[in-house]
């Protein structure tokens, strides 16, 4: 089959790789219809996140059709259209039972193989899905494939970030980073009742989208976000900050923005080795710091009705729709934020 593979720093290749095969009886094979590039793919792409085996099929966002089913799969059949969280989960362990599917004891991340072990990703014609019964969800007729794709990661992750931020209608919130996940965090915050959201980035097109989604855009190259948030809160700072970048600079901005007693909710994947504020700084502000991987399987199920109702124009974040064979160029465009790029979808088959 054809796939986008990791071949070292800033190098992905569109190439032929062996067709995946079912490996355990609870696997299914999915023929990928749509896949996407995520900000999370950029961390191994730049080798900020190290250890990814060369030759690994990239990507963890996909929807498609089941074409082969393991003997012990009970709920799924060939021909079913499914959408998928970015990691697998068993549905029965201590963590799954509490909705913390990201920490399932059997969890594997799509598109992550290290020392020969792990799962290939979804930027390919076919992808093997382990623990299929408890990982995949059926895509209802009422939800578009693009809607399913965005639910599998970015919308779920944005909502999760907003949930960690303890939103209330009276609060004043700052979202640091207006990539696809940050934009979804704005919608997540609104869904939870937020009315005053300041969205911080330096890319005009993304700030424009943030504004369309109901936030006040703040270009940090043109003004000081800390001053903006202080002005909006009688000098206190944001009640919560949703940090959706994953860099030391953004982490520090979040710390400066939050008011005493506030919450920093971080979904940005940090690759530095330290938290960017000291224990005493945190103490002196009485902050709560929450961070982690989204339990996408859990949120997808809960957010499906929101997407079905079409309450938000999630698809507005998609700026590019390209075929898989233009994936290498798509990585370049998304990484360098060229051509007003906000999110790239790759079409694999009809």
What residues make contact with Zn ion under the rule CB under 5 A?
38, 40, 153
Question: Helix H segments across the chain?
Answer: 39-45, 94-97, 132-135, 145-152, 154-164, 180-191, 204-212, 225-231, 248-257, 279-285, 296-309, 327-336
DSSP secondary structure of 136-186: -EE--TTS-HHHHHHHHTHHHHHHHHHHHTT--TT-EEEEE--SHHHHHHH
**201 interface partner picked from ligand NAD, Zn ion, none, CB below 5 to 8 A per type:** ligand NAD
Residue 226 Cβ, how far from Zn ion at the closest point, in Å?
Answer: 29
Smallest gap, in angstroms, from Cβ of residue 68 to Zn ion? 25
Sequence-ordered list of residues with C-beta below 8 angstroms from that of 231, at least 6 positions apart, any chain: none
Picked from Zn ion, ligand NAD, none, the partner binding residue 241 (CB below 5 to 8 A depending on kind) is none
Packing angle, helices 180-191 and 154-164, rounded to 10 = 50
Give the whole-angstrom CA distance, residue 89 versus residue 25: 15
Q: How many other C-beta atoms are found inside a 10 Å radius of the C-beta of residue 326?
A: 15
Is residue 247 close enough to count as binding ligand NAD by CB under 6 A? yes
Q: Which does 203 bind (CB under 5 to 8 A by kind): Zn ion, ligand NAD, none?
A: ligand NAD
Name which of 15 and 335 has its Cβ closer to ligand NAD.
Answer: 335
State which of positions 287-326 bind ligand NAD (CB under 6 A): 293-294
Q: How far is the CB of 41 from Zn ion (least distance, A)?
A: 7
Residues 115-144, interacting with ligand NAD (CB under 6 A): none
d(CA 109, CA 139): 21
Structure tokens at 286: 């009485």
For the CA atoms of 251, 254, 255, 259, the dihedral, rounded to the nearest 10 degrees, stands at -170
Shortest distance, position 59 Cβ to Zn ion, whole Å? 8
179 binds ligand NAD (CB under 6 A): yes
Cβ atoms within 10 Å of 208's Cβ, excluding its own: 14
Per the CB < 8 A criterion, the answer to whether 254 and 243 are in contact is yes
- Using CB under 6 A as the binding rule, whether residue 177 contacts ligand NAD is answered as yes
Span interacting with ligand NAD, options 14-22, 25-33, 198-206, 307-315, rule CB under 6 A: 198-206
Output 120 or 206, the one with its CB closest to ligand NAD: 206
Binding-site member from 199, 267, 304, 330 for ligand NAD (CB under 6 A): 267
Query: Of Zn ion, ligand NAD, none, which one sits near residue 41, judging by CB under 5 to 8 A according to partner kind?
Result: none
Residue selected from 4, 38, 172, 264 as contacting ligand NAD according to rule CB under 6 A:
38
Residue 243 makes contact with ligand NAD by CB under 6 A: no
Burial of 330 (0-12, 13-18, 19+ CB in 10 A): buried
Q: 39 vs 171, which CB is nearer to ligand NAD?
A: 39
Binding residues for ligand NAD, per CB under 6 A?
38-40, 42-43, 153, 157, 176-182, 200-203, 206, 220, 244-247, 249-250, 253, 267-269, 293-294
């Amino acid at each position: 089959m054809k796939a986008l593979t990791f071949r070292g720093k800033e190098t992905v290749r569109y190439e032929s790789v062996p067709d995946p095969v079912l490996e355990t009886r609870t696997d299914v094979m999915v023929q990928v219809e749509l896949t996407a590039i995520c900000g999370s793919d950029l961390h191994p792409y730049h080798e900020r996140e190290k250890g990814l085996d060369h030759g690994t099929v990239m990507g963890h966002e996909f929807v498609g059709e089941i074409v082969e089913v393991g003997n012990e799969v009970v709920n799924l059949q060939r021909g079913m259209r499914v959408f998928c969280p970015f990691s697998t989960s068993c549905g029965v362990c201590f963590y799954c039972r509490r909705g913390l599917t990201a920490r399932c004891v059997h969890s594997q991340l799509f598109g992550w193989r290290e020392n020969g072990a792990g799962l290939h990703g979804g930027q390919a014609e076919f992808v093997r899905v382990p623990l299929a019964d408890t990982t995949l969800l059926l895509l209802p007729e009422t939800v578009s494939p693009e809607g399913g794709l965005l639910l599998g990661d970015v919308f779920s992750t944005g909502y999760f970030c907003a949930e960690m931020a303890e939103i209330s209608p009276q609060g004043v919130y700052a979202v640091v980073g207006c990539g696809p996940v940050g934009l979804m965090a704005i919608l997540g915050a609104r869904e939870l009742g937020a009315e005053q959201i300041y969205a911080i980035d330096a890319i005009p097109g993304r700030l424009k989208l943030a504004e369309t989604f109901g936030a006040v855009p703040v270009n940090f190259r043109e003004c000081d976000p800390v001053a903006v948030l202080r002005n909006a809160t009688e000098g206190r700072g944001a009640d919560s900050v949703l940090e959706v970048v994953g860099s030391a600079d953004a982490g520090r901005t979040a710390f400066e923005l939050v008011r005493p007693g506030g919450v920093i909710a971080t979904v940005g994947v940090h690759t530095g080795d330290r938290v960017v504020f000291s224990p005493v700084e945190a103490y002196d502000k009485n902050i709560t710091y929450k961070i982690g991987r989204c339990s996408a399987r859990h949120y997808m199920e809960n957010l499906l009705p929101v997407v079905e109702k079409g309450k938000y124009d999630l698809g507005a974040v998609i700026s590019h729709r390209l075929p898989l064979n233009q994936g290498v160029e798509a990585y370049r465009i998304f990484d360098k934020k060229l051509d007003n790029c906000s999110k790239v979808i790759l079409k694999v088959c009809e």
